[in-house]
Amino acid sequence: MYATRCVIPVIKSPKDYQVYRISPNDSNRLAIIFDSTNANTSLTCCIEIFDVGGQTPPNRHQWAVEMFFVLKGEAIAMCDGKSATIKAGDSLLVPPTGTHLIKNTGSTRLYTLTVMVPNEDFSELIRSGIPTELDEEDMAVLGRFNALMPC
């Protein structure tokens, strides 16, 4: 039997994303696609953009699973003393309590689709950072190179 209720999906494009740098000296930015404030569920889904040589600080999550899908670039992923090279098309799943970091090892920016479930205050941490914007290079990677142009 099919559900009789229809839920209108939330549709966003890159020009709608809110972008933050968590700390002033961070070498990565996070563009929030969906989180608990706009998706009514406990997840954080964002595009993470790493400058050349940029990386996340080592971090861990008590309950959350974090997934990275590499859209463009290459990196080294480290978790609990193990490391692996990842590149465009690769996925990485970090289990709860794994101390991990991602470092851009390529010659261009690294772009990942990053999803954390449950949210575990990740989006609140991102939103407490410094607002910034996507630039033309970011929009080209996200397939919306004309989204910055006025109508």
pLDDT of res. 7: 67
Secondary structure letter of residue 35 according to DSSP:
-
**Beta-carbon neighbour count of residue 41 at 10 Å?**
12
Rounded Cα distance between 93 and 75, Å, is: 14
Residue type, 46: C
* Model pLDDT for residues 66-92, shown as the tens digit of each residue: 999 999 999 999 999 999 999 999 999
Q: With 90 as the cut, is the pLDDT of residue 17 above it?
A: yes
Q: What is the pTM of this model?
A: 0.89
Mean pLDDT of all residues in 20-38: 93
| Confidence bin at 1 (pLDDT 50/70/90) | low
